[in-house]
Structure 1
Amino acid sequence: MYISNTKLIIREIRIMKKLIAIDLDGTLLSSNLDISAENIQAIQHAQKAGHIVMICSGRAPEDIKVVIGQTPLQCPLAGSNGTMVVADGKLLSQISINKDTVKSIASILDEKKYPFKLYTNQGIFVASSWTDRMNVFLDENPEVSKHLTSKEYKMVTEQPKETDTLKLFDHIDHVLKLEGIAIQKFFIPTISGKTELTSTIEEIDGISVTTSGPFNIEIMDTNGHKGNGIRVMAEYFNIPIENTVAIGDNFNDVPMLKTAGLSIAMENGDPAVKEIADVVTLTNNEHGVAHAIEKYVLANS
């Protein structure tokens, strides 16, 4: 009888185990781009309680690792909007844009002189013309400049320097010829709302267009999104999708919010995103992630 009860308890604990997918910018990160002690502590409490906490961000996996590496946290991740899913040092899933499609998108961007970045399985690639194009873009769209601090303005207009994970290129063909290269995402600064550029790109088959902020668009394969990221991770850890929780603030978070068993939007999130979420937590500057974990995960546990 004792063994039977023990098995029942273990089974109940497994049923209660949850996967919590957390966005970075505007969600886990404050406006100062740091992770508060309160958020760190809540994540650690969730992990100690047996839950899995993953980071699901539009940032590249390498960038996510740098951010999390500045804290004591260790979490599996889904980078580049869920197109690259990594856990226990293993690549669980990779969804890339067809190379012919990549050339078509790049051709449109080059014709319109838009600055852009490529998120790939070999790091981030930035066009060598980034600074010139970015300066023209900001001159033509002064409303964007108004929302940038002097530090941010300098960061976005400075010519990027090559590192192990950031590389410059002159033409898209130079990237596509690299052995084993796979491109997961285009990141393009743009103005808010549906632009002529967005409309043109959306006519291309096999891709989806989203945004992680008011002044950018992001392009992935139609199957590449954060909903895929949370599904792959849930399957890996054998967690039913109804036992998943997603926390986010912007449109690129919508697929995972719609996929998760419980969707939580940040108070500072876009109104349309808050509208589709099950519940709304505090802002990213009020430790909204900690509040959500404590109220909707740990309290229920």
Structure 2
Amino acid sequence: MKKLIAIDLDGTLLSSNIEISEENVQAIQKAQEAGHVVMICSGRAPEDIKTVIAQTPLKCPVAGSNGTMVLADNKLLSQISIDKNNVKSVANILNEKKYPFKIYSSQGIFVASTWTERMLAFLEQNQEVSKGLTPKEYKFMTEQPKETDSIKIFDHIDDVLNKENIAIQKFFIPTISGKTELISTLKEIDGISITTSGPFNIEIMDTNGHKGNGIKVMAEYFNIPIENTVAIGDNFNDVPMLEVAGLSVAMGNADPSVKDIADVVTLTNNEHGVAHAIEKYVLTNN
């Protein structure tokens, strides 16, 4: 029976060292050779996902920016964007509170020219985060990104919104102090959903933009019944795809509430939990 396996990246397929183990690679290849479809469903932008996967021999369709952009066979199957008025409203709130943020779009990731200044202030206010960072991680987080094909720098939100044919899929906001208050303020905006991919951030999409949509679109494209899907994840932004999938698998390192809603729990991301899940719940039953 052909299955669709949707796998999250950070905290799931990637180890703590941000690497995909040989065990995980081999298990995915075995699943593909057995006729199953393996997709990557991540909060990362599609370009970023492809860069990570390109470091391995794997080839997989992707659902990026929390399932708001779904791509297979070099085709864009689905794109769910935030209403432009809502983009402006969110940006105004974040700017008023001086939060650092990134905007994921159909034309790359937009980073404010104030990123370094705001990140330094964020880390100063949240010592529990900065104390846990290595010098390399601190430099990576606070360094002003340079403009590339996929990274764009902007001064004002109108600079982004005025781009021709642009579609905004996601806001990514590092936050701890004031997080509850910020979420409460953002919830007053109709038409957006708020989630998190870790304890130190929040992510904003359109109400219909989530990983559950990503796995549904991919299952329909490959003509696989939704009951024949498997989702593997570790955090709150994975919950929509875990709820939709025929079999939901939480990582051993997953948030306890994510484990509670999953059908089964596998090993951690540092113990090749994805490979273990594929072997046990897909290949063994094949």
2: distance between equivalents of 1:226 and 1:192?
27
Which of 188, 191, 196 is the equivalent residue of 2:176? 191
CA contact (8 A) 2:126 2:177 kept: no
Matching of residue 247 in structure 1 with residue 227 in structure 2: no
Equivalent residue number for residue 205 of structure 2: 220
Which of 77, 97, 111 is the equivalent residue of 1:112? 97
Matching of residue 300 in structure 1 with residue 281 in structure 2: no
Following superposition, the deviation at residue 203 of structure 1 comes to 1.4
Amino acid across the alignment from 1:298: L
Equivalent residue number for residue 75 of structure 2: 90
Equivalent residue number for residue 151 of structure 1: 136
Equivalent residue number for residue 256 of structure 2: 271
For residues 133-212 of structure 1, what are the structure 2 equivalents within 5 Å? 133-191=118-176, 195-212=180-197
Unaligned runs of 5+ in 2: none
Equivalent residue number for residue 64 of structure 2: 79
2: distance between equivalents of 1:56 and 1:282?
19
Deviations 1:43-84 (A, max 9, x none): 000000000000000000000000000100000000000000
CA contact (8 A) 1:267 1:281 kept: yes
SS in 1 for 2:28: helix
Equivalent residue number for residue 56 of structure 1: 41
- The number of residues matched between the two structures is 286
2: distance between equivalents of 1:169 and 1:245?
39
TM-score, with structure 2 as normaliser: 0.99
Which of 32, 39, 46 is the equivalent residue of 2:17? 32
2: distance between equivalents of 1:149 and 1:63?
22
CA contact (8 A) 1:192 1:216 kept: no
2: distance between equivalents of 1:43 and 1:208?
31
Taking only aligned residues, the RMSD between alpha carbons, in angstroms, comes to 0.9
CA contact (8 A) 1:120 1:181 kept: yes
Following superposition, the deviation at residue 198 of structure 1 comes to 1.0
CA contact (8 A) 2:27 2:275 kept: yes
1: distance between equivalents of 2:134 and 2:205?
29
Following superposition, the deviation at residue 151 of structure 1 comes to 1.2
Amino acid across the alignment from 1:204: I
Following superposition, the deviation at residue 192 of structure 1 comes to 7.4
Deviations 1:240-274 (A, max 9, x none): 00000000000000000000000000000100000
Deviations 1:227-251 (A, max 9, x none): 0000000000000000000000000
Following superposition, the deviation at residue 150 of structure 1 comes to 1.7
2: distance between equivalents of 1:31 and 1:134?
22
Higher mean displacement: 247-256 or 146-155: 146-155
Deviations 1:13-39 (A, max 9, x none): xxx100000000000000000100000
CA contact (8 A) 1:192 1:215 kept: no
Residue identity (%): 81
1: distance between equivalents of 2:181 and 2:133?
23
2: distance between equivalents of 1:259 and 1:146?
38
2: distance between equivalents of 1:130 and 1:198?
20
Following superposition, the deviation at residue 194 of structure 1 comes to 5.1
Matching of residue 236 in structure 1 with residue 236 in structure 2: no
Following superposition, the deviation at residue 146 of structure 1 comes to 2.1
1: distance between equivalents of 2:213 and 2:133?
32
Higher mean displacement: 136-145 or 218-227: 136-145
SS in 2 for 1:264: strand
1: distance between equivalents of 2:270 and 2:135?
21
Which of 243, 247, 256 is the equivalent residue of 1:262? 247
1: distance between equivalents of 2:21 and 2:174?
28
Matching of residue 127 in structure 1 with residue 112 in structure 2: yes
2: distance between equivalents of 1:274 and 1:193?
27
CA contact (8 A) 2:2 2:36 kept: yes
The 1:70–1:52 alpha-carbon spacing in structure 2 relative to 1, beyond 3 Å, is same
SS in 1 for 2:253: coil
CA contact (8 A) 2:125 2:177 kept: no
1: distance between equivalents of 2:235 and 2:179?
15
Which of 250, 272, 283 is the equivalent residue of 1:287? 272
SS in 1 for 2:258: helix
2: distance between equivalents of 1:234 and 1:192?
39
Q: Which protein is bigger by CA-based radius of gyration?
A: 1
